Amino acid sequence: MALAPPDPGGLLPDRTAPPRGGLATTSCMETLQVGYLHAVAAAAGCSLAQPFPDNGIDWHLSHSSRAHTVDDEVTIKVQLKSTYQVAPHPPGPTFAFTLDNEHLAKLARSPVSVHKILVVMLVPRTQSEWLRASHDRLELRHCCYWINLAGHAATGRHKTTVRIPTARIFDDRALCEIMARVGAGGRP
């Protein structure tokens, strides 16, 4: 039995795709970004809690450090969103993302005792492009970006378009930096 040679990128060769389940794509997108959040939190040394009921905030992330000055453990609230309507590697310093004004009001409230961030994941339109596995890695595609919307005003009647900075990639380093700022008494 001959084995297919690996591709130059080190990923396993293409295989015939089995039929995917019938779950709605948007539900699968939510699950994908939760996996991304869990991976980032694990690499940053953060704990996760999911509020029940969620009341418009998906996750609470906590970070313990002796370097924090306001408390030994600080927490932020995270609202997750995902879209395939924005292409990966968006050109320019920002990309547009539209929120219902009700969601924006929750994220824009200021001042707050626990800071909130919005994390937006850009995913490929086709589920078969979401993951790639090899013997040494699992690639999750594409990327999450974050923003603190505290003080942001609603501009539309029912929805508001916000600009998400492409420089704010949500990864373990970014999360540790966010927690360090909050741990020093600042904003994310």
For the stretch 87-128, pLDDT in tens is 888 999 999 999 999 999 999 999 999 999 999 999 999 999
Instruction: Tell me what pLDDT residue 2 has.
Output: 46
The reported pLDDT for the residue numbered 15 is 65
Residue 132: predicted pLDDT: 92
pLDDT at site 7 = 47
Query: What is the model's pLDDT at position 88?
Result: 87
Question: Cα–chain-centroid distance for residue 132?
Answer: 19
- Report the mean per-residue pLDDT for the chain: 91
pLDDT beneath 50: ranges in the chain: 1-8, 10
pLDDT of res. 8? 46
pLDDT score, position 18: 80
Q: What is the CA radius of gyration of the chain?
A: 18
pLDDT at 169: 97
